[in-house]
A and B are shown apart, each in its own frame.
Chain A
Amino acid sequence: MQARGRYLLAGLAACLLAGLYLRPGRRRAAAASPPEPEPEPRRGSALAAGPAEAGGGRRARGGAGPAGGRCRMETCFDFSRCRRHGFRVYVYPARGRLSEPQRRVLRSLRGSRFYTPEPGRACLLVLPLERGPRSPDAPARPPHWNGGRNHLLFSLHRDGPLGFEPGQALLAQAGPGAPGFRPRFDVSLPLFPRRLPQRGGARAGPFPAPRRYLLVFEGQRSPSGLGAQTRAALHNGRDLLLLTACRPGPGARCDRPAAAADDARYDSQELMQNSSFCLVPWGRRLGFFRFLEALQAACIPVLLSNGWELPFSEVIDWNKAAIIGDERLLLQIPSITRSIDHDRVLALRQQTQFLWETYFSSVEKIVLTTLEIIQDRIQAHISRNHVMWNAQPGGLYVLPQFSTSLADFPFYYCALGRSPAKEFTAVIQAASPLLSQSQPIVRLILAVAKSKYCTQIVVLWSCEKPPPPRSWWPSVPVPFSVVEGEHKTMSSRFFPYDLIRTDAVLSLDEDTVLSTNEVDFAFTVWCSFPERIVGYPARSHYWDSSKGWWAYTSKWTNEYSMVLTGAAFYHRYYHYLYTFYLPGSLHSMVDQMANCEDILMNFLVSAVTKLPPIKVTQKKQYKETMMQQGSKTSRWADPEHFAQRQACMNSFASWFGFMPLVHSQMRLDPVLFKDQVSILRKKYRDIERL
C-alpha cells in the first residue's frame, strides 16, 4: 500500500464495502477446506457467540457511567428538552465581570437564529463564565442547572482555569487536554486572537501560489520543546527557516518579536505567507495562536502534536489541511515535507483556506460551528456528513434539515459526478390584478411552457384580490398551479414550497418578457453553474467613498454583481436557505418595504458560493418593454424604490458582516451569437432577432 492510498480514502471506502463484504463470498473456492491447526472443538466459526450472549442486555453501557464525571451525549444529555421547540439556545444573564472573548461569544449566541429568551423553551442553556476565581461548587447553581444537564460552558483562555467540576455540562474549550476531554461530548475550540472580527471575517487569502520557503518556524527561545540545537540543525537559511523571535532577558516577556540580529529581516506574518509549511508546536499557548495564523496565511501547519484535540476535530478532517506529526520525529521533518507532492501541497493549502474562512475567521463562525456540532449530535439522523463539513461551502451553509443527501444540494454535482436533471419549475410572482388576456403574464406563461425543459409552472398569487379561475389562465401542456400564500409578503416568493420538486427554479416577475429561446439558453447555462444565480437583468454595486456606503446602480456598466430574480434560474435549495437561514429582521425589512428581496437573494447566494452570478444575453428591448407595459403599477418607476434598494444594500452588508457580492465582467452568449454565419445554423435564433 503506497501512502498515496490514504488520499484516496473515498476509493478505499468503496473498496472496503466491496472487498470486505462482497468479494469473499463471490470468490468462494470449491471445497478447499483449510487445514486446521488443531481440531476445533466448536462447529463452524471460532467467532460463534457463546450461548450466554443470547438475550443480551439493554442499555448495558460499558465503562464508567456518569458517576465518574465522564459523560456522553446519551448519558448526560436530556434529548427530550429539544423535542418540542427544536434546537433553541438560552443564555443566562451575566452577573459578574466577563472577559472580552466571553462577551463576544455571548453576543454571537444572542444574535444567532437558535437564540431564545425563554429558558423553558431551550434545548441548550449557556452559562456565562464570570472572570476571577471561582469556588469549587460554582457555578452558583443557576436556576435550571440540574447537575449541568443540557448546559454549555464556553471556557476561554482569558477566563482562567475552570476551577470547578462541569458535571454533566458540555464544555467548549480551547485545546482541552486529552485526559479531561470527553470525546463526542465536549467541543474543542480554537484559541482566537483578540483582533478576530465578530462576524463576517476576511476572505481567504490570495490564490495560493508556490512559496519561497518550504518550512518556517518562529518561536520563543525556551528551554522546553524545540530546543536551540534542534532548530540550528534544521535551519538552513535557504528554504528552512527556524527563527527565534526574541531575546530572553530576565523577566522579559516576548509579546513582540524583538528580533535577534541575525533574524531581523524576517517578519512573522510575511514569513508564513511565503512558506508552504509552518511548524506549529500544538499544545502550547503559542502554538494555539500560531495554528490559526498559519491557516489564515495558507501555510500548511505541521503540528507537533502532543495528542490534544484539534479544533472541531469531531467534524473537521484535519488530515486534509495539516500534517499531524510527532515531536519525536522532528529531524525528519525536512525530508517529510519535501516528499509531499506538488498537487497535494496545493490541495492542503486550499483546504487551509477553506477551513479558515468557513469556521475560524470570525467569532460568530466559531460559535455557530460549536452549536451546529451539538445540534448534529442531538439529531444524529438529520446531520451533516463528512463531505458537508469538509467541502465547499462548509457545514454552516448546508442545512441537513433540508436534506441529508448530497444530491439535493447545488454544491456537489461535480463531486458526485452528476449533472443537474434537465428540468425546471417556473415560479411566477403575480402581484397585480389580472384584467386582460393581453397582459404580459399570459405571454410569459405561454413562452415558458414551450420550453422543453419546463416541467411545471407555479403562479404565486400575492395580489389582495382573489386569483381568477382556472379557466381564465392559458392552457399549457405542463402542470400549472396557482398558490395563494398565507402571507402575501415579498419573502414568501422564496418560500420552499413542497410543490417545487425540481432542482432548478426559474424565478419570474409577472411583467418579465422572455422568449422560449432565451429560457432554454439560460437553462443550459445554469446546468453548467448550478450553484449560482443565472439570469438576465443585471445590476451592480460599488463603494461610494464620498458618502461612505455601498451604492446600488442599475445603469449599464461594464460589470455586474447581481442578477435580479425577476428572470433568473437558481437551485431550489436557496429558497430553503433564504427562508430558514436568514434572520427574521431581514425578512421583515424586505416585507415592510415590499422591496429588495432580489438583492437579498443575491447577497445570500454570493455569500455561500463566494462567486458572482452569471448574466446571459438577452434581447435588448427587455428593459424598454418592461418599462412601458408595467410602468403604471411597476415599482420600478418609483424613485423611492431606488432609495430603498440603496438602504437595503447597506443593511444587508452589515448583517453579513462583509460585502459578499462579487463582480463579473463577462456575459455568456450562445456560441454563434451575432456571428456572421447564416441564422439557420444558429440554435438560439430568437435571441438575436429584435
Chain B
Amino acid sequence: MCASAKYNTRGPALIPRMKTKHRIYYITLFSIVLLGLIATGMFQFWPHSIESSSDWTVEKRSVHDVPVVKLPAESPIPERGDLSCRMHTCFDVYRCGFNPKNKIKVYIYSLKKYVDEYGMLVSNTISREYNELLTAISDSDFYTDDVNRACLFVPSIDVLNQNTLRVKETAQALAQLSRWDRGTNHLLFNMLPGGPPDYNTALDVPRDRALLAGGGFSTWTYRQGYDVSIPVYSPLSVEVELPERRPGPRRYFILSSQMALHPEYRSDLEALQAENGESVLVLDKCTNLSEGVPSVRKRCHKNQVFDYPQVLQEATFCIVLRGARLGQAVLSDVLQAGCVPVVIADSYILPFSEVLDWKRASVVIPEEKMPEMYSILQSIPQRQIEEMQRQKWSSVSNPLFLPLIPPQSQGFTAIVLTYDRVESLFRVITEVSKVPSLSKLLVVWNNQNKNPPEDSLWPKIRVPLKVVKTTENKLSNRFFPYDEIETEAVLAIDDDIIMLTSDELQFGYEVWREFPDRLVGYPGRLHLWDHEMNKWKYESEWTNEVSMVLTGAAFYHKYFNYLYTYKMPGDIKNWVDAHMNCEDIAMNFLVANVTGKAVIKVTPRKKFKCPECTAIDGLSLDQTHMVERSECINKFASVFGTMPLKVVEHRADPVLYKDDFPEKLKSFPNIGSL
C-alpha cells in the first residue's frame, strides 16, 4: 500500500538526481501532503485517476549556472497569509480541470538565484532537504513541466527554515513568480516557522493565498481544510538505524529527552522524577563531553551518559514537550524508536491530523495536567500501549457492515446454473417456486450448443422466470451481477439440488436476513491443515466443524456477485474458469476475506440430490476431484496471502427444531434430518 514504492525508479529529475537516504522520506511526505489536501475537501471531489505520464522530459540543470534575479527594494510584497482562506474561496479549481484526464499536476518553478539591490543573496538558494523534496515531486507522477497544465505550483524558493530567511525579500521573490496571482494554488513547505521572540506558529513570510504545508501549526494559525500540518524533520531519524523492538514493557516508564526545555517544564519533570524514582528518566544535554563526541547524539542524567536516540527505545512513553515552537523534531525520533509519544503542547496541530488518528498512536495531555501525567499514563491499558507501540492500524473494509435485518418482504432471487439437465432443472424450479419468499427465478443457460427449451415447456410458476443465455460455458457466469437481480438476497442453486424442502429454503432465507453479510448455505465443508503434506486439505466428511458452504445451495448478498466478477484478487477468476472447478471455494474465500466472518451452515441437511445418494454427493466421491479441491484451497490461500476461512462448530436450526412440541405449531416443521 505504500505509495512510495511506486516512485523509486522514475526517470530524470529536475535537479540532479540523488540517491540519498532522505528521498523516500520526502516522497512519502509529499504524497501525504497531497493526500491531506485531498482529504480536506477540494480534491475529495476529484475523480481519481492520476495516471502515469511518460511524455514529460526535464532537462537536467546544473545548479551552478542558474539565472540571477535582482529584486528592487520597492518590488511588491504579497499580503500576509489570509487566515480566512478555504478551498472554495482561495483556490482556483479550474486550473486543475484543464487536462482531459483529470490529473492533479504539479509544476515546479525553475531554479533562480535571488539577490537584493546590493547583490546580496536573499537566501541560501536551496537546502539539501528542500532539494530532495523537489526531486521527490519531480520524480512522481504528479509532476508536469507544462505550466499551463498545472494545478499546483511549487516555487524553487526554500522557506523550510524561517531562521535562515530574509522575510521581506523572500516574499518579494515569491511575488514575482510568473504565475503567482496572489499565491493562488501555490504550495509552500515550511518546517520551522516563526522567529524570536514570539515564534509565530506559521511561516511569517507574507504569502497571501498560498497553501502552506507547515510544521508546528497551532489551532490559531491552521486553516482547516486548506493547510496541511507536516512533521518537523529530524536529521537523526534518517541517520541512525534503530533495531525494531517488539511491543512490551520497557525499562523506563516515562522518558524526557529534550534538551532546550523551559526551566518551568524542567522543574515539573524533575518533580515527577523525584516522586516516582527509577521509572522516570529526565535527560538533559551533557556538559562534560570529551572533544569530538557529537553532542546531539548524547544525553545525560547527572553523570550518566546515554546514547541518543537509542535511549528512546528503553522507554514506554517519551515526552514531546513544546519548545519555543510547537512542532518538535523529537516527535520523529520518538516514533522511530517505537516509543509512545506523550504530546504536551496545547493547541498544536499534530502532523497530518486530517488523515491520521493520533489518538491511536500517541497520548495528548493538556499542559495544565502535566503534574498528573504519571497517573494518567498509568491508567492506560497495557493492550493499548502495545497497540500504540505497534503503530499499525489495520482495518477490514467491509461495506456491508450495518447490523441491519433487511425486510422480509423483498424476498430473494434464485439463480440456477444449468447446462443441459433439463428434467432435473425443471424439478428444481418447481420445488424452489414453492418457497414463499421467492420473488424471481433466473436460469443461467450455460450451454452454447443447445438452445433452452421453448417457453411453453417450462414449468408454470407464480413468480417471474427469466432465462439468461451465456456466450461462453464458464462457471463464473453463475456469479455475474445480472441486472435482472432486483433483490438483495440471492439463492445460488445447482440444477440437481432437488432434496431441499420449501421449509428449509424459507428458513435459510430468514437466517440470511439475520446475517446479510455472510454466506448462508446448506452443504458444509471444511479445510484442514495436513501436517504430513504441509499444506491445506479439503474435507467433505461429516465433521464437527464447518468453514465453507457450497454455493450449490447458498444464500448471499448480491454485492458479492459484483465483488466476484470485478474485484476477485489475482488470477483466481480465470483459474476457476479454466479448471471448471472451485468457483464455490473461491466465493467462500472472497466473502471471508472481505468480512472476516465465518459462514453459516443451515439445517442438518446432508443429502441434496436424491434420497439414495450417499451424503457426499456425486462428483465429490471422485478421488481426483478431492485432490483438485485441495489444490484450489492451497492456490487461493497463496493468492490471498492468508487463510481467510474461519472455522466454526455451529449450524443454524429453527428455534424449535427437534423440540418436543407439536409439529403443526412449528414455523418450519419440514426440516429433513439427512
Decide: A20 near B29, CB < 8 A? Known: A14-B391, A324-B45, A556-B659.
yes
Q: Is A67 an interface residue (CB 8 A)?
A: no
B488:A58 contact, CB within 8 angstroms = no
Q: Is A233 an interface residue (CB 8 A)?
A: no
15 A-B pairs in the complex with CB atoms less than 8 angstroms apart = A21-B335, A28-B21, A37-B126, A45-B129, A46-B164, A62-B199, A63-B200, A336-B47, A386-B359, A408-B383, A556-B656, A665-B511, A665-B667, A668-B650, A671-B650
Decide: A405 near B260, CB < 8 A? Known: A209-B488, A415-B396.
no
Chain B residue nearest in CB terms to A354: B402
A62:B262 contact, CB within 8 angstroms = no
A56:B235 contact, CB within 8 angstroms = no
A673:B651 contact, CB within 8 angstroms = yes
Q: Is A74 an interface residue (CB 8 A)?
A: yes
A37 to B63, CA, bound (A): 6
A616: chain B residues at CB < 8 Å are 650
Decide: A380 near B366, CB < 8 A? Known: A416-B394, A666-B653, A666-B654.
yes
Most chain A CB within 10 A, of B48, B50, B403, is at B403
Q: Is A538 an interface residue (CB 8 A)?
A: yes
Question: Which residues of chain A from 44 to 100 have any CB-CB distance to chain B below 8 Å in the complex?
Answer: 44-50, 52-64, 70, 72, 74, 79
B127: chain A residues at CB < 8 Å are 40, 45-47
Q: Is A353 an interface residue (CB 8 A)?
A: yes
A476 to chain B, nearest CB (A): 25
Pick the contact of B237: A4, A25, A662 (CB < 8 A). Answer: A25
Q: Is A239 an interface residue (CB 8 A)?
A: no
B393:A14 contact, CB within 8 angstroms = yes
A620:B93 contact, CB within 8 angstroms = no
B126: chain A residues at CB < 8 Å are 37-38
A63: chain B residues at CB < 8 Å are 200-201, 218, 220-221
Q: Is B290 an interface residue (CB 8 A)?
A: no
A1:B93 contact, CB within 8 angstroms = no
B248 to chain A, nearest CB (A): 15
Question: Which residues of chain A from 1 to 45 have any CB-CB distance to chain B below 8 Å in the complex?
Answer: 1-29, 32, 34-38, 40-42, 44-45
Q: Is B130 an interface residue (CB 8 A)?
A: yes
Q: Which one, B143-151, B239-247, B423-431, is touching chain A?
A: B239-247
A484 to B222, CA, bound (A): 55
B653:A44 contact, CB within 8 angstroms = no
Pick the contact of B131: A34, A307, A556, A675 (CB < 8 A). Answer: A34
Most chain A CB within 10 A, of B158, B543, B653, is at B653
Pick the contact of A319: B18, B39, B262 (CB < 8 A). Answer: B39
Question: What total of chain B residues lie within 8 Å of the partner, measured CB to CB?
Answer: 190
B383:A407 contact, CB within 8 angstroms = yes
A25:B242 contact, CB within 8 angstroms = yes
B235:A669 contact, CB within 8 angstroms = no
A669:B653 contact, CB within 8 angstroms = yes
A319:B381 contact, CB within 8 angstroms = no
Pick the contact of A40: B89, B124, B335, B524 (CB < 8 A). Answer: B124
B332: chain A residues at CB < 8 Å are 20-21
A335: chain B residues at CB < 8 Å are 47
Indicate with 1 or 0, residue by residue over B222-250, a CB within 8 angstroms of chain A CB atoms: 10110000011101011111100000000
Pick the contact of B24: A27, A74, A203, A328 (CB < 8 A). Answer: A27
A392:B403 contact, CB within 8 angstroms = yes
Question: What total of chain A residues lie within 8 Å of the partner, measured CB to CB?
Answer: 151
Chain A residue nearest in CB terms to B127: A46
Q: Is A543 an interface residue (CB 8 A)?
A: no
Question: Which residues of chain A from 214 to 272 have any CB-CB distance to chain B below 8 Å in the complex?
Answer: none
Pick the contact of B365: A380, A557, A620 (CB < 8 A). Answer: A380
Q: Which one, A145-153, A192-200, A606-614, A631-639, is touching chain B?
A: A606-614
A159: chain B residues at CB < 8 Å are none
B566: chain A residues at CB < 8 Å are 342
Most chain B CB within 10 A, of A5, A50, A62, A336, is at A62
B209 to chain A, nearest CB (A): 14
Q: Is A681 an interface residue (CB 8 A)?
A: yes
Q: Is A204 an interface residue (CB 8 A)?
A: yes
A63 to B587, CA, bound (A): 57
B649:A675 contact, CB within 8 angstroms = no
A667:B652 contact, CB within 8 angstroms = yes
Q: Is A387 an interface residue (CB 8 A)?
A: yes
B379: chain A residues at CB < 8 Å are 382
A329: chain B residues at CB < 8 Å are 45, 93, 97
Chain A residue nearest in CB terms to B660: A620
Decide: A528 near B260, CB < 8 A? Known: A2-B50, A667-B657, A668-B652.
no
